[in-house]
Structure 1
Amino acid sequence: MDHEQPTLRRSEELSEIIEEQIATGIRQPGSRLDEQELAAEFGVSRTPIREALIQLAAAGLIDMRPRRGAVVADVGPARLCEMFEVMAELEAMCGRLAARRISAAEQNALQEAHRACEAARDAQNPDEYYRLNEVFHRVLYTASHNEFLAEQAIALHRRLRPYRRLQLRVRNRMQTSYSEHQAIVDAILAGDGELAAERLRGHVAVQGERFVDLVSSLAVLKTATPQEAG
């Protein structure tokens, strides 16, 4: 058992590193993840690599294919739109419940996360904004006080991570996102569940120009070289 724990922790670390590489486009949709090559790259045995790939497959970030092994998942625009549609409803539900159930400590945490996003926005740092944006949304999920709902929201949020991150590279999206966050915070602190749900749904849904922007960014991601994507 003592030998299993370090291996498990290492596999989780590797999973996070590879996930980050997928999110930033270093490992592009459709590219193969060879266990032996990854083991050599990270200086580990194939066991933690295999465990990391299983974790990524469970999150939907990679596909395990016969004879090809692990491949970075390639999601089409129609499927992406469906996933964002579900994500918008999950977040709306979290917002509705959070407006009723959020504790004083969680209110402070939400405002603190919002202020941190403001600093990243002012610094024009989309990667840092994205990291802090995740914190903001996690606080919302927790504040719903519905563990099952939070688990589902976190799982789909993680699945959409590469694409939500891409959105922040669209011109003026950080400023728009921050303004939408402010409106969400105001609704939740006012205890208006329906308004919070409506604003979160609009914040996450990918429709109209935002869908076109996402598809355009996705095309760039698929054609970029690792150096360009990083």
Structure 2
Amino acid sequence: MTKHSSTLRETIEEMIAMGELQPGQHLDETELATRFGVSRTPIRETLIQLESMGLVVIRPRRGAIVAELGPQQLVEMFEVMSELEATCGRLAARRMTPEEQHVLLAAHEACKAAVEAGEPDEYYYRNEAFHEAIYAGSHNSFLFEQTRGLYRRLRPYRRLQLRVRNRIGHSYSEHEGVVQAILAGDGDKAAELLRSHVMIQGQRFSDLMASLPQLTKSAA
């Protein structure tokens, strides 16, 4: 993969992850080629790469669309996400350096500022930095890449969750417990709290399902 094609893939991946390209939206190769000032060939190659990541579905004779996740797929992916994050937390509690703990605390404080400002989108970005600090603190590069990859796949849905009433306040409170467990070196507690923090079930699942039309309303 050339540097240019890698950049193109990352750019379109980011547009999908942040909802600029909506689930179910048709991806017109000519329009994308014009937008990025390239030929259709690198666009087609990029869409194939994104299909292999589960972000795009390429349909014979009908072109590509942004992948949509059904309720069962979402539950299954969040289930795996919760276990990956739990493992990251368990390892981070054992392996984080003092410098990495400072990074985690700074990310936690940035989340607090976003909560106090009542800014769910800002909180989303700070929340991502918070979780990545834990992934990095696991000191397991394979786990880091796998967890971050699934996080990116679920970004539109995790972002949507934060728009549910009072969710960012609850999320920050859950972060506080995670931070304290990691700083105390309690890997089992950190894992338990992260698993619960990420998993969607019960009311949280119902809230997410009710919010999904907001994510797809412009895709029609």
TM-score (norm 1): 0.87
Deviations 1:178-219 (A, max 9, x none): 111111000000000110000000100001000001111113
Q: Which residue number corresponds to residue 218 of structure 2?
A: 225
1:46 CA displacement: 2.7
Q: Which residue of 2 aligns with 1:134?
A: 128
Give the drift of 1:47: 4.2
The correspondence for 2:8, drawn from 6, 11, 15, is 11
Q: Structure 1, residues 37-76: CA drift from partner, whole Å, max 9, x if none?
A: 1122334333443344344323322112222222110110
The DSSP-based 3-state class of the residue aligned with 2:165 is coil
Answer yes or no: is the 8 Å Cα contact 2:27–2:66 preserved in 1. Answer: yes
Amino acid at match of 1:225: S
Q: Which residue of structure 1 aligns with residue 38 of structure 2?
A: 44
- Whole-angstrom distance in 2 between the partners of 1:153 and 1:9: 20
Shift of 1:114: 0.8
- Where do residues 51-62 of structure 1 align in structure 2 (5 Å cutoff)? 51-62=45-56
Distance 2:20 2:87 in 1: 34
> For the residues of structure 1 that align with 2:6 and 2:67, how far apart are their CA atoms?
24
Residue 113 of structure 2 is matched in structure 1 by: 119
Matched, 1:32 2:29: no
Amino acid at match of 1:11: L
1:148 aligns with 2:145: no
Distance 1:121 1:52 in 2: 37
Note the C-alpha offset of 1:27. Answer: 2.5
Q: In 1, distance between residues paired with 2:191 and 2:90?
A: 5
In the alignment, the residues of structure 2 paired with residue 109 and residue 51 of structure 1 have an alpha-carbon distance, to the nearest angstrom, of 37
Residue 174 of structure 2, aligned match among 171, 180, 196 = 180
Tell me how far apart the structure 2 counterparts of residues 216 and 44 of structure 1 sit (CA, whole Å).
Answer: 39
Aligned counterpart in structure 2 of residue 202 of structure 1, from 196, 203, 211 = 196
SS in 1 for 2:65: strand
* Aligned-pair CA distance for 1:10: 4.1
Amino acid at match of 2:196: G
Which 4+ runs in 1 deviate beyond 6 A?
Answer: none
- The answer to whether residue 153 in structure 2 is matched with residue 159 in structure 1 is yes
d(CA) in 1 for partners of 2:31 and 2:150?
29
In structure 2, give the amino acid aligned to 1:143: G
**SS of equivalent to 1:28:** coil
> Pick from 171, 192, 206: which aligns with 1:212?
206
Q: CA RMSD in A?
A: 1.9
- Distance of aligned partners of 1:121 and 1:87 in 2 relative to their CA distance in 1, 3 Å threshold: same
CA contact (8 A) 2:17 2:152 kept: no
Kindly indicate whether the alpha-carbon contact (under 8 Å) linking 1:32 and 1:68 is maintained by their aligned counterparts in 2: no
Consecutive unaligned residues of structure 2, counting only runs of 5 or more, are: none
Instruction: State the partner residue of 1:93.
Output: 87
The answer to whether the Cα contact below 8 Å between 2:17 and 2:154 also exists between their aligned partners in 1 is no
